[in-house]
Chain A
Amino acid sequence: GAVRGSRARPPAGEDGPGQRRPERPAAADRVAEHMLRLYEQYRGGRDPPAPPGPWLRRGNTVRGFRPLPAGSPKGQEMYIFNLTSLTESENVLSASVYYYIGDLLHVKWNCSQPSGCSHHWHRKPEIQIRLSVWTFPSAGNLTRSLGHFLINVSSAYQDILSWQWKDITQLLHEAKQNNELLISVKMDLTGHPPWERASSSYEPYILIYANDSAISEPESVVSTLRGHHHPLARVLPKPEGHRRSSVDNRRRKRSANVLLPLQNNELPGAKYQYGEEQGWEGTKPYKTFQPQLADRARSKKKQRKSHLQKTQTLQFDEQTLKKARRK
């Protein structure tokens, strides 16, 4: 893993330098707040914010993950994230851990001034955060490290912010490739008192930007909601089963509802077979028609060509239609 600290950067729309608050913002759920802000940006038709890091592509999916409630060994705070809802069709563009370091700052209140209280932020001179990402062991698997980062929070940062982020895209690619989507993030302070687990509002969270290639498939809006959403499951069959049965139905219909040539507009006597690569193609009777059709097409092609250049839309005058009706 890299050994360089990320520069402080707030979640999208977060307070910037000069907007520091003396108290923690009253956010009930930081990840929900962050996601809602992203949603507003997407919905407003504005260019959605670029995900953190060098990943400029935005994709059509953003997932926010809260840590599972869990205990941890003393002196080393561990957060477990269940990322198993990431689907195979979701190509991860960017992944970041957001974490709160506001507790590492001291606030000194000065109430001696006649105008009232003012506050001053004081930073500990050198704080080093070790952030390590591990796979969380599932049945038969052992824990293994995906990478770790040493993040320096020093006085060099003049505009230090409470929320910071760290890009873990490469780590997540590896975890996804190995289907190890239950991961743990450990945070500890080197040479300082142990990292204390924050209240749920200030726990780290993971944001993943992805491009879901399956989103344009039929019923994608339903298939992404399958699983625990019982009201839907009651009304609709599961998409996979549905798809399979609808394919079966189509097959049955193709074989059962055989129409006469006059009804189905197919060439009389033609039998069609389906080749995986070639698509639908005619057998011999169809092929015998091809030269005639090709000749006819060639002779008419010249006549049509000049007209087609003028317009690509077919137009019919009343006389043509009368002729057709008479025929």
Chain B
Amino acid sequence: QWNEPRNCARRYLKVDFADIGWSEWIISPKSFDAYYCSGECQFPIPKAMKPSNHATIQSIVRAVGVVPGIPEPCCVPDKMSSLSILFFDENKNVVLKVYPNMTVESCACR
């Protein structure tokens, strides 16, 4: 994925619950597309990266260099979606929960 442009963007990440040791109690799904955000939010931040007003200002302050130590804005999840997980609770009963903010839909500079 690093051959792609280095600007802030959503990248593909598939999480397999077995890989993180959770498959013992998660019945379904076995894996899901989580995605992640990565890339630069350098000045000038393109509109496509949906910078917040604050991120724009921070980017300018950093570019101008008046305040030392200010980092560039972060590339973070913007819109996220929920994921339904079917799992066993501590008494081995089956539970279905809809967890919010489990999958990245889009990224932004913030």
Complex contacts, A39 vs chain B, CB 8 Å: 27-28, 84, 86, 96
Interface check A60, CB cutoff 8 A: yes
Count of chain B residues with a beta carbon within 8 Å of a chain A beta carbon: 35
By the criterion CB–CB under 8 Å, are B98 and A64 in contact? no
Interface check B4, CB cutoff 8 A: no
Within 8 A of B (CB), among A28-76: 31-32, 35-36, 38-39, 42-43, 60-66
Interface of B is mostly: mixed
Among A166-174, A227-235, A244-252, the one that faces the other chain is: A227-235
By the criterion CB–CB under 8 Å, are B94 and A31 in contact? yes
Question: How far apart sit A84 and B91, CA to CA, in the bound complex (Å)?
Answer: 9
Complex contacts, B22 vs chain A, CB 8 Å: 225, 229, 231-232
Give the tally of cross-chain contacts (CB within 8 A).
100
By the criterion CB–CB under 8 Å, are B86 and A36 in contact? yes
Question: How far apart sit A279 and B68, CA to CA, in the bound complex (Å)?
Answer: 28
By the criterion CB–CB under 8 Å, are A316 and B93 in contact? no
Most buried by B among A36, A42, A324: A42
Within 8 A of A (CB), among B16-58: 21-22, 24-25, 27-29, 53, 56-57
Interface check B76, CB cutoff 8 A: no
Question: How far apart sit A324 and B60, CA to CA, in the bound complex (Å)?
Answer: 9
Please judge, given known A-B contacts A35-B86, A220-B99, whether A313 and B53 are in contact too, CB under 8 Å.
yes
Question: How far apart sit A39 and B83, CA to CA, in the bound complex (Å)?
Answer: 10
Nearest chain B residue, comparing its CB with the CB of A228: B90
Interface of A is mostly: mixed
Nearest chain A residue, comparing its CB with the CB of B93: A65
Complex contacts, B96 vs chain A, CB 8 Å: 35, 38-39, 42, 61-64
Count of chain A residues with a beta carbon within 8 Å of a chain B beta carbon: 41
Question: How far apart sit A220 and B83, CA to CA, in the bound complex (Å)?
Answer: 13
Complex contacts, B24 vs chain A, CB 8 Å: 229, 231
By the criterion CB–CB under 8 Å, are B21 and A215 in contact? no
Interface check A263, CB cutoff 8 A: yes
Interface check A325, CB cutoff 8 A: yes
A66, A212, A215, A216: which contacts B93 (Cβ < 8 A)?
A66
Most buried by A among B28, B60, B89: B89
Please judge, given known A-B contacts A39-B96, A221-B99, whether A63 and B89 are in contact too, CB under 8 Å.
yes
By the criterion CB–CB under 8 Å, are A314 and B56 in contact? yes
Question: How far apart sit A3 and B29, CA to CA, in the bound complex (Å)?
Answer: 42
Complex contacts, A201 vs chain B, CB 8 Å: none
A residues adjacent to B (C-beta < 8 A): 31-32, 35-36, 38-39, 42-43, 60-66, 82, 84-85, 212, 215-216, 220-221, 224-225, 227-229, 231-232, 235, 262-263, 265, 313-314, 316, 321, 324-325, 327
Sampled A-B contacts (6; CB under 8 Å): A35-B96, A36-B28, A39-B27, A64-B96, A321-B60, A327-B66
Further contacts, 13 of them, CB under 8 A, given A63-B94, A321-B63? A60-B97, A60-B100, A62-B96, A64-B94, A84-B91, A212-B97, A229-B22, A231-B22, A231-B24, A265-B67, A313-B53, A321-B60, A327-B66
In the A-B complex, the 5 residue pairs with the smallest Cβ-Cβ separation, listed nearest first, are A227-B90, A231-B21, A42-B84, A62-B96, A60-B98
